[in-house]
Amino acid sequence: MKYDLVQTEEQNKLESRLIHSFVCLPANPWSIQKLSHSNMACILGGWYCGVEPCKIKVIPRIDGTKENLIEILKHKELIGSIEIPDDMEVVRHVIPTVCLTAQVWAQAPGGAPMPTAEQTDPVKLGWMVGSPPAPDKVIRWADGSFYTFPKFRWSFSHGRELMSTSNVSRGLGSPSPLPRAERADLDRVTFVPLGKTEPMTWAQSLSANFTDGVVVLHKGRIVYERYFGALSANGQHAGQSVTKSFFGTIGAMLVAEGKLDANAKVAQYIPELKDSGFGNATVRQVLDMTTGIKYSENYADPKAEIWDHVRAGNVLPRPPGYQGPKSFYEFLKTVQPEGEHGQAFAYKTVNSDVLGWLIRRVTGKSVGENLSDRIWSKLGMEQDAYIAIDTEGTEFAGGGLNTGLRDLARFGEMMRQEGRFNGQQIIPKAVVEDIRGGGDKTHFAKANYPTLPGASYRNMWWVLNNANGAFAARGIHGQTIYVDPKAEMVIARYASFPMAANAFNDPTSLPAFQALADKLMSDPK
């Protein structure tokens, strides 16, 4: 059975009557391949996906037929259709999986409301507790359960226990100090979420965004610090695509040092990619994600290139009999051209893994070693970091970094201070200025991000171009380093928001960040 994906204006409004729907992934090899990060269609209506921990509940509506009850709601970027098998036993697996991290808010007639952060607290749910844990409390990488809601509220803080990683050393020096001047009044700061009329407090926003931990710096001092769920001050959390901004910064440093020519073709440094879609792209186009490549991140499409990417890198389990690329290097060679380079911004994680290859090639060191030598050891971090690797030991430069939260804040504070921290110029001032200046706004506008009007993208940083000059590192499920130079504020946040795309937490997050900045500027104390 085939259903067309039809965009409606109503689906774009994100009205309060639309709610999220989440389920746990069944232990089914086919459905695991449907597991997604973003840009996914959600199939709902006649067969509603409810949630209980580790259980699937498929609730048929009383009225109507299957054909007129199944609705397909899509994210605005999706174009096309999706095949729905007639076999109801298959539908039981397909629908929950597709809805898992859907990039829409979907109507759920008669369905249960979205579970709250408190209801899905991984400590309260008892994941991985016991010796051994009870069978229904076990989280595994091999069956894909580590990346299902609400289980990933635990696994985002325990990645090293589930997958292969390499270390990012902090060195042997003492941690750099972060003075404290904590303020209890910040919890009461109010703002109005985008598209809403009722105010919300900063404290309420933390729960609404499924915050696992947040640190706020003002003028280099910790004014606010909180931890929830599985994350603690001495723990580490998945940074997701915040990873990109670290390596984008290193890439920009290599350009400033003359080790990379921003206008040179990728193939000049990586001849292995000369016949790929990246061969005639420039280093600058990779850094700013304006490459014209055939790479779909439509997770509703089982043939989308994203699946080859994550399987090759061992980010998600491979199905039985898998015969595709078996490393990031192998996959990158298969990417084909599509369209023209340098015409439009298109967020595609694969660019970051090309950048990782460029960094390795011109420095002779892994990206983790570069991160340790250039940033981690010089910033005086409290903890080592770690990064996910494929089966050949190649780091996932597009999203594999895991760090302590205060260390994330240190990096943001260094960027706020134009590359200077811990008594030294760690990143050239000109590099930070280039990032803060942003990329081509017309290129960015073509990607149509409703929550980021007037923004741009430069060296794998999101530049808001607002009155405060804010810029950010952003990762799915709510990971953030938010730097506000005018307010002299840095916010480092780790989260496990059920929906992957930040478009779903931005309506709460962005005005909350601005409200905090306004408070710190008007009442600095």
Residue 350, C-beta contacts closer than 8 angstroms, at least 6 positions apart: 293, 295, 305, 309, 331, 332, 335, 398
307 and 295 Cβ atoms separated by less than 8 Å: no
For the chain, how far is it from start to end, CA to CA, in angstroms? 63
Q: How far, in Å, CA of 69 to CA of 39, rounded? A: 23
- Identify which of 256, 292, 262 has the alpha carbon closest to the alpha carbon of residue 277: 292
Taken in order 419, 424, 426, 429, is the CA torsion positive or negative? positive
What residues does 461 pair with on adjacent strands? 458
> Percent helix, strand and coil across the chain, each rounded to 5?
30, 20, 50
Please state, as a whole number, how many other Cβ atoms lie within 10 Å of the Cβ of residue 418. Answer: 17
User: Which residues are 482's β-sheet partners?
Assistant: 472, 491
Tell me how far the alpha carbon of residue 394 is from its chain's centroid.
20
What stretch of H or E contains 436?
A: helix 429-437
Angle at 486 between CA 483 and CA 488, to 5 degrees: 60
Q: Where are the alpha helices (DSSP H) in 264-327?
A: 266-269, 283-287, 305-312
| Alpha-carbon distances of 496 from 95, 113, 162, 232, rounded to whole Å | 22, 18, 17, 14
Q: Of 519, 525, 487, 497, which is closest to residue 38 (Cα–Cα)?
A: 497
Sequence-distant (6+) residues with CB within 8 A of 292 are 277, 281, 337, 338, 339, 340, 341, 342, 343
Per DSSP, 176 falls in state P
3-state secondary structure of 180: strand
Helical segments of 222-373, H only:
242-256, 266-269, 283-287, 305-312, 328-332, 350-363, 367-371
Distance CA 386, CA 383 (A): 10
Active site residues: 241
| CA 469 remoteness from chain centre | 22
Q: What is the DSSP letter of 255?
A: H
Alpha carbon distance 126, 431 (integer Å): 45
Tokens describing residue 95: 């629908």
Cβ count within 10 A of residue 8: 10
